[in-house]
Structure 1
Amino acid sequence: MDLIPRFQDLVAQVPEFVQPLIVALAGAVPFIEGEGAAVIGVIGGVHPVAAVLAGIAGNFLCVLVLVTLSSRTRSAIVSHRRSRAEARDVTLVGAGPGAHDESADENADVDAPESGRKTARWVKFQRALDRYGVPGVSLLGPLLLPTQFTATMLTASGVAARRVLFWQGLAIIGWTTLLGVVVGGVVHTVA
């Protein structure tokens, strides 16, 4: 599927006041993101400032939704595991010394990694997080992964949602502005 040409055609076909909305929609798509959306908008004829702002808005709103959902999901999972562990501890304490917890055997694979490949990726991400911190992973992440993936992984690893949103917002603003200015300058120079 050729998403970028389709977005460019769509931008060219809609009325001028709707064009930034198309750019914002493109900004919400992983791998296109704010940077790609700004480029699509500028090449499609949208004013560079409007294209950059729309790309930023679309990308950040998508990240905001994903971070909020993953933060709530993580909180629910951690709370559930904590209450399950507390219930297991109460059961073992009430059973007396030498009691064996059969439910622990039944649920032993709950925390086991799903596959070696996923585990390797997670370990690699954790190493990058330990080495560069949230600012580094957020600001350099768009070079390797879409911000939507990076933000979700940061939240899933336990980083506070506000902190993820702050650094992802800075990354989105920085990268989108940089590419929007470069492409806008090239388009202006060529025209």
Structure 2
Amino acid sequence: MDYLTYFILVFLGAAVPFIEYMTVIPLGIIIGLPLVPTVFLGFLGNLVTVLLVIILVDKIREVLRKRKKQHTRLPDTDGESTSNPEEANTTEMNWDESFTSKRRRRAQKLWDKYGLPGLTVIGTGLLSSHLTALMACTFGGNRTYVFIWMTISLALWSIILGIAFQLGMDAIFS
């Protein structure tokens, strides 16, 4: 494959939630792509979908709310549904909720302690940029400021990650 194909894959891979820049930038550097275009396209691909999350945050929250309601209404043995999760076997759902609420609590602590800049910079490095943008909007952040701080954060983390991997690859193979 030529560089153009790889760069398109870097851009598209960075746009996928939970894969993001954190995966595609190191992979691009490992396969030998040039540092600057790899970091730039990883950053840009992630930024495009983060912008979509910020714009569509209300619709995303509604979909998640509906999905949560569907999971709590599980079919009973006689075909009727129950809205009481204690009556049904919800082991998987409880684990899922605790995992999500654990992330939410961690993000809320960052928000309370450092505000929007702290949540976006620290959250993007520790969690996921899409999840961080969603949380920042949910916690009451102005969408314009969320976008500005997410852009700064993604640029910062993309550059740090790209340089760190490039130096690491140079140290290993030189």
Check whether TM > 0.5. Answer: yes
Specify whether residues 19 and 135 from structure 1 end up closer, same or farther in structure 2 by C-alpha distance, changes over 3 A only.
same
CA RMSD of aligned residues (A): 2.4
2:157 is aligned, of 166, 175, 185, to 175
- Which residue in 2 is equivalent to 1:52? 39
* C-alpha distance in structure 1 between counterparts of 2:101 and 2:23, whole Å: 30
1:177 maps to amino acid: I
- Displaced runs of 4 or more, over 6 A: none
Shift of 1:57: 0.6
1:67 is aligned, of 54, 71, 86, to 54
Normalised TM-score (structure 2): 0.70
When the two structures are aligned, how many residues end up with a matched partner? 139
Preserved contact between residue 10 and residue 28 of structure 2 (Cα < 8 Å): yes
1:45 maps to amino acid: G
Preserved contact between residue 35 and residue 180 of structure 1 (Cα < 8 Å): no
1:142 is aligned, of 124, 147, 159, to 124
Normalised TM-score (structure 1): 0.64
Shift of 1:125: 3.1
Shift of 1:150: 0.7
In the alignment, structure 2 segments of 5+ residues that lack a partner are: 62-93
In the TM superposition, 1:93-172 aligns within 5 A as 117=98, 122-172=104-154
Greater C-alpha radius of gyration: 1
- Which residue in 2 is equivalent to 1:106? none
2:39 maps to amino acid: V
* C-alpha distance in structure 2 between counterparts of 1:73 and 1:32, whole Å: 19
Identity %: 28
